[in-house]
Structure formats: structure tokens, C-alpha cells
Amino acid sequence: MIKRIHHINFIVKDLSKAVQNYGALFGDPVHGIETLASRGIQLARYKVGETWLILIQPVADGVPARYLEKHGEGFFLISCQVDNVAESAAVAEAQGVRAMHEQARQGLEDWQVMDLNADDLFGANFQLLESAS
């Protein structure tokens, strides 16, 4: 079912400061600062091997903003690539891990993502991702 870890998100209050600090480790973000308006975030992506490390800063109300308010900065979620999000979500649900929505939502580029219920995964924010790359 899971092919690889596609990306790991860290949530921050100050993206420019985070980019400065993470830049000491990884260099410049691959695409600079990006906006994903549908999630109310700005982000910076670093490619580490085959995995993306993504820093996100909430800029509007939504799940990331509420998470930051409740939990503070740090690890936010892990996203695993699958061949088919809908099929993988159905398999997970059959095993007792509920999907948060009925259909995948659009992420960056061609990423189709499906969030899983953190309560079923002992508090971990986890998502399935389908992408051609």
C-alpha cells in the first residue's frame, strides 16, 4: 500500500526565520516561499533525498492554524505516497483507520491527499498522497 514517505511537514510561527535556520542545513528552499491558499498557509520546501521536508506557516484560519495554536511549533504531519488514494483509504478504513473526508483534496502540484483520523493513529497526523512524481 505505502510506497514511500513523500513529505514531512513542520509547522512554524515565522516562516522567514525558519527558512533562515533550516537554510543553514539544507540551503535555499526548492521553490522559494509558496502559498497554498486552500489551506491558509505559506510554505517552503526542501528536497532531502526522495522526501520533501516542508515548513508551513498558517496565514489564515484553518486546520494548520488551529493545530499551531493548540500544539505550538514542531512536527505537524507525515505524508505517505500510495498508488491510489481512494483505494488506500478504503483499505485503511477496513482496518479501523478512518479517513477525515470522503474524497481526496488538492495539494501542491498534482498531489491528491487524504487525511487520516489522528485519533485512530495515536495522535499522529498522517495522510495518504497520490502523485505522478
CATH code for the domain in which residue 30 is found: 3.10.180.10
Could you read off the pLDDT tens digit of each residue along the chain, which spans 133 residues?
899 999 999 999 999 999 999 999 999 989 889 999 999 999 999 999 999 999 999 999 999 999 999 999 999 999 999 999 999 999 999 999 999 999 999 999 999 999 999 999 999 999 999 998 7
What pLDDT does residue 132 have?
A: 87
Q: Please tell me the predicted confidence (pLDDT) of residue 7.
A: 97
* pLDDT attached to residue 1: 81
Q: For residue 46, what are the domain limits?
A: 2-130
Q: What is the pLDDT of residue 133?
A: 78
The pTM assigned to this predicted structure is: 0.91
The number of distinct structural domains making up the chain is 1
DSSP-derived 3-state class of residue 54: strand
pLDDT value of position 86: 96
- Cα 77 from Cα 38, distance rounded (Å): 17
Task: Return contacts of 57-65, CB within 8 angstroms, 24+ apart.
Answer: 57/11, 57/12, 57/13, 57/14, 57/15, 57/18, 58/11, 59/35, 63/39, 64/11, 64/39, 64/40, 65/40
